[in-house]
Structure 1
Amino acid sequence: MHCIFKTLSLPVALWLLAPLAHAADATPAEVAAYPNKPVRIIVPYPAGGSTDVLARVLGQKIGEEMGQPVVVENRPGASGNIGASYVAKSPADGYTLFLGTSTALAANPGLYKTLPYDPQKDFAPIILATTLASLVVVNPSVPVKTMQELSAYLKAHPGTSYASSGNGTPAHLGGELYKKMAGVQMNHVPYKGGAPALTDLIGGQTSLMFAILPEAMPFVKEGKLRALAVTTAKPTPNAPQMPTVAEAGVPGYELVGWYAFLAPRATPQPIVSKLNKAFDEALQDKAVRERLTSLGFDVAGGPPERLASTIRSETKKWKQVIDEAHINLD
């Protein structure tokens, strides 16, 4: 334990250590017996989407490993706030888990003046499960093929519009981050979802978009859109030929969606450790990795402190972008 926390800041270490104070609430027999009934994973988005599929793929695998069914329950609404609030107020016994996203855990604290939960106080981090890259895509009529050319084009055409899947979404925040770092001006056009945004981009109503990779790549392959770069810090296995935005003209740029599992704050540490081990082993399973890769995910994994650190750093990063762009969803 000493070697793990040696490299952590004091706030992170205290956040991770706090659940230990509640470990005595569960007897050794109860911890050893966990789980002895079905476990629920609360997904804050509708059934059928990529987040839902991720929960079901991993839920089935950890259910097999732990010997109990894992049930996925969808509680969509308010950019993930409804599902997050539900889990935050659930019993801290390890039987109700939250599949949180970068939006619910890192962006929403800046997007909403008031939240019914605190991502850094109301949850015990379990594991950073997967990440999801986006692509910078343009309508083929836009005369650019690289990020450097795009920046030059936007400086010459400051009224150019970029589409997003909605206000406060990663596609929106990614565009605002690019504006800030590249020193360009664009007009934001929000849509109600990625599909209509991509449809209008293909139709020429908008010029570019920071679109999640699995939604945009089929149109790139069909020649309906042109991809300039991937938004991850390093090349993604799902688009290995694509340069990153950072190496293609905007050093330090990174836009990554991420998906993580958390439990209510006071969940005993031994149970959190059991869950971390089960999820981490599931993420190393060949069939699981292949399935997740086919959905566009990059597999992450690792200890709870990796997730804790991610939540802290991403919250700080996106709050600055949100504040400077004056974005508010209340």
Structure 2
Amino acid sequence: MPIQVQEIACREGNIGLITLDSPTTLNALSGSMITETQAILDEWADADHISLVIFRGTGDRAFCAGGNIRELYGALSGDGDPDAPAGFFANEYRLDYTIHCFPKPVIAIGHGVVMGGGLGILSACRYRLVTPNVIMAMPEITIGLFPDVGASWFLNRLPGRIGLFMGLTGARLNVSDALRVGLADMAILPDQVDSLIDRLREERWSGESAADDSRLFRLVNQLEHPDYRALPASELARHEQDIARLGAGDELPVIVENLLEADVDSDWWRGCMANLRGGCPVTAWLVWTQLKKAQQMSLKDVFRMELTMAARCTRRPDLREGIRARLIDKDQSPTWSFPTVRDVPESIVDEHFEPELDDSNDPMGLQ
């Protein structure tokens, strides 16, 4: 099975433990992983014996590298159901929304690569613990998609223009970056993970969400913290002023040009600019537009907007071409439908946001 499911008995109550178990794919989310996890959470939401839920991943390299886009590429390139790729996204977003709204405390323990759909899961959890080797990113611009899985919600809540910068550049954040901007709550050492679970097993969980949440909060904050001085230096701390200065304004083409032309001397910055320079111009506009539109949206409407966007992306050539170039043929030279941000027609951007979904036509069935 691509996930492991355990119910761990405590002195009173039980912990529901979901382990993403596909280390050869960096625990990338396949369609079956998503549907199986959804079924388990639906069962546990109403199960009196389950008091809290933990997500973690197997292997040393990743909590979750995102959606399994090789699997998605097969659906995009095949002769099967043309609605199947959009169905994949609908199921993934429903899972993320379920975690956001879960009636019991949910902990994520992120290690190694936490990108795309992996960051969607972690961001949806009430307690977001990460190990010192964590690497976070929303790199969808490199494949012609857009920062989804609720990113319109959580990127908008980052300070300044950092959310926009992450979406435009696929910037890789280290543990200090993640803590600095609030994408993670706390760092723990890898050998503390099992001891945390053992400590939780010693407790009596009442099944009352508020009481259990209060107890869990105290327990998590009693964990021994790593020496933060020994963690990697924050790249965002070094570059926040550059991001704020270059990302200011209300014209996306100007912002993109300012970023690409800036004389900023660091390997991290150059990596970000390489992603932006080689990234999909339509995606840049989607990032810009989704963040603006989502500012006044509820979480439910954010996921509905993103599903409309994703469905449109599955019907345009850029996503298929981006996956081909990055992961299938690996020539790293995608031919995008428009060569630059300035060349993208407004009508192409607008069509990614139509039609609008609501309670009457939402295939996710969000409650």
TM-score computed with the length of structure 1 as normaliser:
0.24
Higher helix share: 2
Higher relative contact order (CA 8 A, sep 6+): 1
Higher strand share: 1
TM-score computed with the length of structure 2 as normaliser:
0.22
